[in-house]
Structures are given as structure tokens and as C-alpha cells.
Amino acid sequence: MKSNERTTQKRSASLRTERSQRAKERVSQASERARNPTGMPPVLSRGSMVGARGSRKKVGQTNVRRKYYYSIGATGTEVRLPALPALQFSWRMLSGLMSAGLLALIWAMWSAPIFQVSRVNVTGLVHIPKGDVLSALNLDGETILKASPEDLAQTLQAKFPDIAQASVQVGLPASVAVSIQERTPIIAWQDDKEIRWIDASGIAYPPRGQEAGLILVNAKGNPPSDTPAAQDSAGAADPGTSASTAAAADLPQDPQKAAAAPFLSTDLIAAIQRLEKGIPAGASIMYDPRYGLGWTDPSGWVVYFGSNIDEMDLKLNQYQVITGELSKQNIHPAMISVEFPDAPFYRLEP
């Protein structure tokens, strides 16, 4: 009996010891889990999930709102003000703001009165009225952004063939300065329709006002159309067409065409200038498309020297010799031609 009781007591003590150890182990494990929660099962959180092994799933970041508290009096009562979001600027947002600002600036310059042209300064005018220049530019009330210096200069040279050079300067907020150099006429070319002024480069244009010292040439027709300029101004079908009218009519497709279309060649201009030095008093130079340059002599006949300046001095001397011989023989010709020094001739009838 006693042996059985002893056995039972030993077993009871062993169970109590085992239970005590298990309790201590559970307490130790609970403490360990509290210190290291990685062993805990997955727990759902706001916007994220923490796994049992410490793995985390990345989620989109949200703007943290800043909280502000305001104390009321000395009671310690606080009032929370509305939360403000914490803004984060990116390069894309910055570029968008810059683009919007640039568009706003362009719109302001396009529509603001300060950038609208109200005055144009024009210098260098001699015969051309300033009002005609301003009308051709057509800048009154226009925004300065539409003013192109090159286009404006080309417009003036195409509209006015008597302008040799034109330069335009544009400045902010709305300043426009125009400098013009007009052509200087040396010849007044007169036919049965009109008078044209011609400068040293051969450009013909309508006269403006009065100009002293011009060489008057009475023409029975236009010069030969052997150059593109003469063909453009005179035309092959109608040799009596006015070159100045053709040049000043509509604007050509090429704005520089008027400046590159001389009506007279430089050789013919030189011949006119040389012939003007030997013309008798009271006579005027005349031009015939067939015989060239000449004049009506005070004695009543017409003399022609051709259109070439070559050997002009020889032609003038030869003319003096011929008229002397005809006077000795009491011959009164109607026309004398020394266009070709090797074969001069005269006619008794026109």
C-alpha cells in the first residue's frame, strides 16, 4: 500500500513540475513575441499588410496633412484647425507652370496697348511723302510682334521703285524706325505718253515734284528689249508700254525685282551723258529705236549718233566735218547719220 502511495505522489509532483515548466515556457514565448512581432500572423493595416516573416507590400504614398492646434485662453482648451496638404512639386508641374506663364506673356504682348504701334519714325525722305510710306507699311494699331523688318523693307522697295535702299528697325515695346535712301535722277525720259525719271543705274520711276539739272531726252520709243529688264518693263508685243507704269503697278512676286530691272543700260546712259556735252545751245537730245541718240540741229536737220558710246568723240568730229562740207556745197539735208563712222550718210528728205 505504501509503495503505491509513494508512486502516486511522485507522479503528482512530476505533473506539477511539468505544468510549471510549460507555464514558464508560454510566458517566455509571449514575452518574446511582444519584443519581436515578426512571428505573428499577418495583420491587415491601412494601405499595407505586414507578413509573418516581415515582408511588406509597397503602396502609393499619400500627402500627409499638417495638423495645427490653437490654444484658447489659459484653460488648456485646444482647437484643431483644418489640415493643410503637404504639396510636393515635380519637374513636370514646374514645366507646366512655365509654359502657362509663357503663353500668358505672349497673349499680353499681343493684346496689350503698350505693344501696339502708334508711331513710326521715317528718315531720308526727299520726294516721297511720309504719308505714302506709312500707308504702305500699314502698322498703325498693329502689335509689334507682327512687324518683320525684312518684310517691311522689301514691301517699301517693291511699292516705291524710286527707293534705292530701305532699312527697318523694330524695338520693344512698340518702336519702329525706317531709314530710306531715294534714288537720284539724272535723266528725264519723255515720250508721247509720260515722263520718267531715270537714275545712274538705269531704273525708271514716276517723277515726284521738280528736280533741276536733268538731261531731257525726247524718245520716239523705248530702248531695245535685248535685256530682261527692258523686256519686263516694255514688253515685246507693245514697245510703247511705259516701264514706270509696269514697275509701279502691282507688287511683283519677287520684291527685289524692281531694283534689278533697269530701263536703260549703263552704256546708253553713258552715251547720253557724253552726247549732252556736245549738243548745240537750244537743242535737246532725242532717241529713235532705229537710229539711236541724236538731236535736232538749229539749222533744221536731224542728226543721229547711235546708242553706243564707243567712238562718240570720233562721231562728233565727223559730224562737224560733214556739216561743213554740206554747207560749202549749199546742201540742206533732212537727216544725217554718223552711227557707223565707216559709213556715214545723209538724206535730203525725211
Rounded to whole angstroms, the Cα distance separating 165 from 175 reads 20
Percent of the chain that is helix, strand, coil (3-state, to 5): 35, 25, 40
Phi, then psi, of 10 in degrees rounded to 5: -60, -40
Rounded to whole angstroms, the Cα distance separating 10 from 7 reads 5
Q: Which pLDDT score, from 0 to 100, does residue 141 have?
A: 85
Per-residue cell: 228: 530682261
Contacts of 66 (CB under 8 A, 6+ apart): 83, 84, 85, 86
Rounded to whole angstroms, the Cα distance separating 303 from 318 reads 12
Q: Which pLDDT score, from 0 to 100, does residue 329 have?
A: 93
From residue 27, alpha-carbon distances to 34, 41, 132 in Å are: 11, 19, 108
Rounded to whole angstroms, the Cα distance separating 89 from 101 reads 17
Cα-based angle 236, 240, 243 (whole degrees, multiple of 5): 85
Q: Which pLDDT score, from 0 to 100, does residue 25 have?
A: 78
Per-residue cell: 193: 505718253
- Whether omega before 41 lies within 30 degrees of 0, making that bond cis, reads no
| Weakly modelled stretches of the chain, pLDDT under 50 | 47-60, 227-259
Q: Which pLDDT score, from 0 to 100, does residue 71 have?
A: 67
Q: In 3-state terms, what secondary structure has residue 281? A: coil
Per-residue cell: 93: 508641374
Reported pTM? 0.61
Rounded to whole angstroms, the Cα distance separating 172 from 10 reads 111
Q: Which pLDDT score, from 0 to 100, does residue 290 have?
A: 92
Chain mean position to CA 345: 59
Phi, then psi, of 221 in degrees rounded to 5: 175, 175
Domains, the chain: 114-181 (3.10.20.310), 183-264 (no CATH), 268-347 (no CATH)
Place of cell 519686263: 232
Tell me whether strands 345-347 and 335-337 are parallel, antiparallel or unpaired: antiparallel
Tell me the longest C-alpha to C-alpha distance in the chain. 197
Rounded to whole angstroms, the Cα distance separating 53 from 42 reads 9
Query: Closest by alpha carbon to 173, among 138, 143, 135?
Result: 143
Q: Which pLDDT score, from 0 to 100, does residue 20 have?
A: 79
